[in-house]
Amino acid sequence: MSKKNQQLFETVYQQCYPMVLQMCLGFVKGNSDLANDLSQEVFINIWNALDKFKGKSTPKTWVYRITVNTCLQYLRKEKNKTKLPIEKVEQVLIDESKEIDHQQNQNLYRAIGQLEELDRLLIMMVLEEQDYDTIAEVLGITPTNVRVKIHRIKKRLKKILDHE
Amino acid sequence: MSDNFEALQNQWKKNKKQVEHDSDAMSKMLASIKAKRNWSKRFHYGNIVVLSLVVVLISSFFYFVAPVQKILSQIGVALMVGGLLLRIGIEFFSVEKLKQIQFDDTVLKNTTDTLSFYAFRKQIHGPITIGIIALYTIGFFFITLEFTLYFSTIAMILIYVSYVIGAIVPVFFVRKNIIKEIRILKEITQLKDHISIA
């Protein structure tokens, strides 16, 4: 790998690691082992794709694409091994001792985990404050389509949160 | 709805800040990336290596240990080895097709390419593999006709029985893979619809 790519990787890693890990955590319903494994897969795919990064989209949009695609592929592989229990919500974060935080995180991942796979990823991009155009660019669909989907997911999420 | 969602968003941001403090994860990540990349390469080419070894083994056996004399037997060897070579060619093609699935494409394009890959795998594990097993079996049968000149009936029965038992294993795996791939195909098709339909 060239020095330029190595530097690009390090920059992407420093800037995007928290986002990637957190999306992975949300996707695998808070299971820290799986989330770490999955975030490694994401960075392997980032590493492999570095040569092709031409800057047509922003690095962040590019990383989102790789993250979403990797998550969707990963779960397919993982389904052959084991089912992900919603109850098993763990934390990978440093401050594990704070019980309140832990409970709130459980609620967060439990709520997201009840959505369908793609919807989980979509809502996490919204939580990441990405606009509809960026999400549309990641998915390869129109912003109008994204808007409709997000509206529906938010309604579903509200139902989930109301029932808790 | 907005209150709930804002609370969720605040929790999300709070979590993210805590993740950011992990400092020496970078070097660990790089090490595991290197290890996993190597493993992935080995996994992709593993089938090809195993099949190539079988080809070498069978070819060596019929060349050095038991060179068959009759034309029908030679056709049999050609069918057996040819079937395996065909399978190796298909495996190479499959690895190349897998490489075409780009993770930095849009999710819709990635899903479409994955769908095409699994449809191809379904074909491989279905009619193509069954065809290759059939070729291999016909080839084996052709060779055993010459074997009957040198082996007793009991020995021949043992050879046939062991072949049938040996054939059950790949047939079982083929069936298992077909079921798995049909399920995956169904899931990806649903996912693609979910992405593209508003």
Residues B178-198: pLDDT tens digits? 788 788 888 889 888 988 886
Q: What pLDDT, on the 0 to 100 scale, is given for residue B178?
A: 79
Give dist(CA B7, CA A158) in Å, integer: 12
Give dist(CA B20, CA B28) in Å, integer: 15
In the predicted structure, residue A84 carries a pLDDT above the cut 60:
no
For residues A43 and B29, the answer to whether their CB atoms sit within 8 Å is yes
Give dist(CA B120, CA B15) in Å, integer: 42
Question: Residue A150's CB: how many other CB atoms inside 10 A?
Answer: 17
Residues across chain A = 164
B39-57 tens-digit pLDDT: 666 766 888 898 899 999 9
CA A58 to chain centroid: 17
The minimum CA-CA distance between B191 and chain A, rounded to whole Å, is 8
Label residue B38 by pLDDT band (50, 70, 90).
Answer: low
Cβ neighbourhood burial of A48 (10 Å; 0-12, 13-18, 19+):
middle
| Domain-wise residue ranges, chain B | 2-196
Compute the average pLDDT of residues B76-85: 93
For residues A146 and A56, the answer to whether their CB atoms sit within 8 Å is no
What average pLDDT does chain A have?
83
In the predicted structure, residue A61 carries a pLDDT above the cut 70:
yes
Which of chain A's residues have a Cβ under 8 Å away from the Cβ of B195? 118, 139-141
CB–CB contact A22 B191 (8 Å): no
Label residue B172 by pLDDT band (50, 70, 90).
Answer: confident
- A52-56, B82-86, B112-116 — which is least confidently predicted? A52-56
User: Nearest by CB to A22, which of B15, B29, B40?
Assistant: B15
**CATH number for A98:** 1.10.1740.10
Q: What pLDDT, on the 0 to 100 scale, is given for residue A91?
A: 46
When comparing pLDDT for A67 and A31, which is higher? A67
In the predicted structure, residue A89 carries a pLDDT above the cut 50:
no
Compute the average pLDDT of residues A50-64: 87
CB–CB contact B14 A52 (8 Å): no
- A98-102, B90-94, B101-105, B150-154 — which is least confidently predicted? A98-102
Q: ipTM score of the complex?
A: 0.83
Nearest to B126 by CA among B188, B45, B185: B185
Number of domains in chain A: 1
Residue type, B53: L
Task: Identify the closest residue of chain B to A145 by CA–CA distance.
Answer: B198
Which structural domain range is residue A9 located in?
Answer: 3-163
Question: Residue A163's CB: how many other CB atoms inside 10 A?
Answer: 8
For residues B192 and B111, the answer to whether their CB atoms sit within 8 Å is yes
In the predicted structure, residue A132 carries a pLDDT above the cut 60:
yes
